[in-house]
Amino acid sequence: MNKHILNTEVQQFIRRYQDDTPSDIALQKSPFPEVSSAELAVQIDGRKRCQKKLPLWFNTPNIYYPPKLNIEQSSSELTAEYKSRLIKGDTLADLTGGFGADACYFAKRAKEVVHIEQNKELSEIAGHNSEALGIKNISFIQTDSIRFLESTDKVFDTIYIDPGRRIQTKKMFLLKDTEPDVVANLSLLLSKARRIIIKTSPLFDIQSGLKELQQVSEVHVISVKNDCKELLWVIDKGFEGEARIHCTALNNEGEKNLLFFYSEERAISIGHFSDPKPYLYEPDVALLKAGCFKLIAERFNILKIHPNTHLYTSDLPVNDFAGKVFKTVAVFEYKAFSKNKGARKANVISRNFPLSVDELKKKHRLRDGGDSYLIFTTGQSGKLIVIEAERN
C-alpha cells in the first residue's frame, strides 16, 4: 500500500481525472515522483467501479482502491446490507474480508467485527478505508482464516465466509472444491460460532449444497436488478429440519421476497395450463434459480402457459409480483410470425423455445429497443408461439 497516494494533491488528481480512461492515464508520465502512472490508473479505475456498486466508498474522501479484481469480487452495497440482516449476536468474524464492504455493513449491526484477510496489502487497504468511513468497531488481522480459528480461544456469535473456487470452471462445482474447504472445516466453524453464513457463486447447485452441508436452516438466493448475484447458506448450530428457501429480488427501490420449502414445491400438482391472458408474468431470476416453478402459480393465483415454460398469465393484474409484469397485446403462431419479413425494433425474450435471443434477432431482423416486447415461447398445446407485449 503506497501511502503517498493519500496525499492531498494526489487525491485531487484522481478526482479531477476520474472520468478519463485508466489505460490512457497509465501511458502518461505521472506528475508525482512517489506515485507511478500505473498506480494512478488503478485508483481511477477503482473509483469508476465503485461509483454504482459501492457509492459510499465512491463519495467518501481518501478511499484507497485495490486492483480491479478485488473490487469485482466485493459485494455491492445492496447485497452487503442484506447480508448484515442475517447475522446473529454481537460478535462476528469475516473470514474472507477482502475489500471490506461486507465487514463495514456487519459493523453497523454487530458490536465487534473481526476482518481476516490473508493478503497483507488488501488487509491494510480495508483497515485504512474503515477509518476513512468512520467505522471504529472492526479489527483487522492479516493471516490465514483457518489458522486463525484453530489458534484463537474466542467464540463468535456469527462467522461469515466467502470461499474461493480452487478449480475455475463454468461447470457445476462442489463446496469441497472451495478454498477454504468449508465442508472439511465445518466442524471447526461450528465450534467457533452458533451461526455460519457461507456465500457461494449463483452458479452453484442448491440441491448439491444441501447434500454436502449440515444444519442448513436457510438458503438465500439474491438477485440485483434481475441478475442473480449470490447464494447464501445459513447454518445454525444444532438445527434440525428442512431448510427454508428465501428468494430475494433487490433493486434501488427496495426488494421483493418469496419464501418456501422444497417440500411445498414438490407437493403441488398443476393440472391446468393456459394460453396467454391479458397479463403475463416473467419471474425474477432468483425464483427461477431457486427452482420455484409450480409454487409461483399457487402463491399468486396465476396460470402457467406450459409445464416447461416458466411464464405465467392471468385475467387480472397481480400486485407485488417478484418479476416482470406485461400486458399482452397480441399472440401469434410462430409460423405466421415467420412470414413477416420486415425489420422491426423490439425487446426479445426466448423462453422454452428452440432458438436463442441472438438467433431470433438475426433470423427476423429484430433490433433491440423500443417499448414493445416479443416473447418467443411454447404454448399450452405445445405449439411455438410469439407474444407481443408491453410492460405493465
Instruction: From the options 3.40.50.1950, 3.90.79.10, 3.40.50.150, 3.40.980.10, give the CATH code of 74-260.
Output: 3.40.50.150
Domain ranges within the chain, ordered by starting residue: 3-70, 74-260, 271-391
Pairing of strands 372-378, 347-350: parallel
Structure confidence at residue 92 (pLDDT): 98
Structure confidence at residue 251 (pLDDT): 87
Structure confidence at residue 179 (pLDDT): 87
Nearest to 126 by CA among 190, 209, 64, 36: 64
Nearest to 167 by CA among 153, 155, 184, 179: 179
Structure confidence at residue 91 (pLDDT): 98
Structure confidence at residue 353 (pLDDT): 97
Instruction: From the options 2.30.29.30, 2.40.420.20, 3.30.450.40, 1.10.10.1110, give the CATH code of 3-70.
Output: 1.10.10.1110
Cell 427461477 locates to 288
| Phi/psi of residue 226, nearest 5 degrees | 65, 30
Residues 225-273 have pLDDT tens digits of 999 999 999 999 999 999 999 999 998 888 999 999 999 999 999 888 9
Structure confidence at residue 173 (pLDDT): 67
Helix H or strand E segment including 296 = helix 294-300
Residues 263-283 as b/e (b if ≥16 CB within 10 A, e otherwise) read ebbeeeeeeebbbbbebbbbb
| Phi/psi of residue 15, nearest 5 degrees | -70, -35
Q: Which residues pair with 254 in a beta bridge?
A: 251
Q: What is the pTM of this model?
A: 0.92
Low-confidence ranges of the chain (pLDDT < 70): 166-173, 341-343
Structure confidence at residue 341 (pLDDT): 66
